[in-house]
Amino acid sequence: MKTAVITGSTRGIGYGLAEAFLDLGCQVVVSGRTAEAVELAVGDLAAKYGPGRILGQPCDVCVFDQVQALWDASMERFGAIDIWVNNAGVGNPVMGFWELVPELIESVITTNVIGVMYGSKVALAGMVEQGHGALYNMEGLGSTGRKIDGLTLYGTTKAALRYLDEALAREVKEKGITVGALRPGMVVTDFLLCQFEGRPDDLERAKPMFNILCDKVETVTPWLAERVLANNKNGAVISWQSTWKMLGRFLTAPFSRRNLFD
């Protein structure tokens, strides 16, 4: 039975991964910024899977001591950590970079880059000591070099993670540890919808394209979890979307009635 720690797992893709790993027989550590959110998520999961394989631990990934406490609590409960997923992240509303307030720029960079670095440092240090483990960082827009107007800030943070993941994979190649990346593609979550906060008309105009490009959490996360458990290749990029898949979506769009927003 493997143990998976997932940051930012009280909702969205992180919660979906927690559920998927539990479905696959793993032990799971759920974390989020507030104790209330963690308690709610753990309660929902425990009602379905029982409490024995679940631990909840509040953690703000921007605070190093809390990230270390997440590792320590997980080790105390389960004895070893096989998989660590740095999933916690924040986005920005779609707007010109010059329109962003400095506080938002700092928040996105701190969470998406420094938070992932903290998680990576803690996880890799612990895995080197225990002699095994796999670290996965959640990549996204920007990781492939793709650019979308209005999402420069978010994309820049994910481009930084591509360098980080490649570099970390090189550093641990003689340590018996795996470093990889997860790319879930576009998923309908609060994370996506918050980009259109206060602009409902823009969201309505975007929905037809989202219905082609996006998927639901419960579609993507089981697929990702299965491949994480099966992977033993250092430096692997586990990507849900592919060029052929997207081409197929566009070709069949006139004949399908996908509606991800009901």
25-34 pLDDT, tens digit per residue, is 999 999 999 9
Residue 36 lies inside a defined structural domain of this protein: yes
pTM beyond 0.95, yes or no = no
Active-site pick, 15, 118, 136, 154: 154
Q: What is the number of domains present in the chain? A: 1
Q: Which residues of the chain have pLDDT under 70?
A: 244, 246
Residue 251 lies inside a defined structural domain of this protein: no
Chain centre to alpha carbon of residue 171: 22
CATH number of the domain that residue 164 is part of: 3.40.50.720
Residue 205 confidence (pLDDT): 78
Tokens 């602009």 — which residue?
Answer: 199
Residue 211 lies inside a defined structural domain of this protein: no
Domain assignment of residue 53, given as a range: 3-189+218-242
Angle between helix axes 115-130 and 64-78 (nearest 10 degrees) is 40
Residue 53 lies inside a defined structural domain of this protein: yes
Residue 250 lies inside a defined structural domain of this protein: no
* HEC letters along 212-255: HHCECHHHHHHHHHHHHHHCCCCCCEEECCCHHHHHHHHHHHHH
Residue 108 lies inside a defined structural domain of this protein: yes
Residue 50 confidence (pLDDT): 97
120-165 pLDDT, tens digit per residue, is 999 999 999 999 999 999 999 889 898 989 899 999 999 999 999 9
Residue 254 lies inside a defined structural domain of this protein: no
Residue 175 lies inside a defined structural domain of this protein: yes
Considering only CA atoms, give the Rg of the chain: 18
15 as an active site residue: the answer is: no
Residue 254 confidence (pLDDT): 74
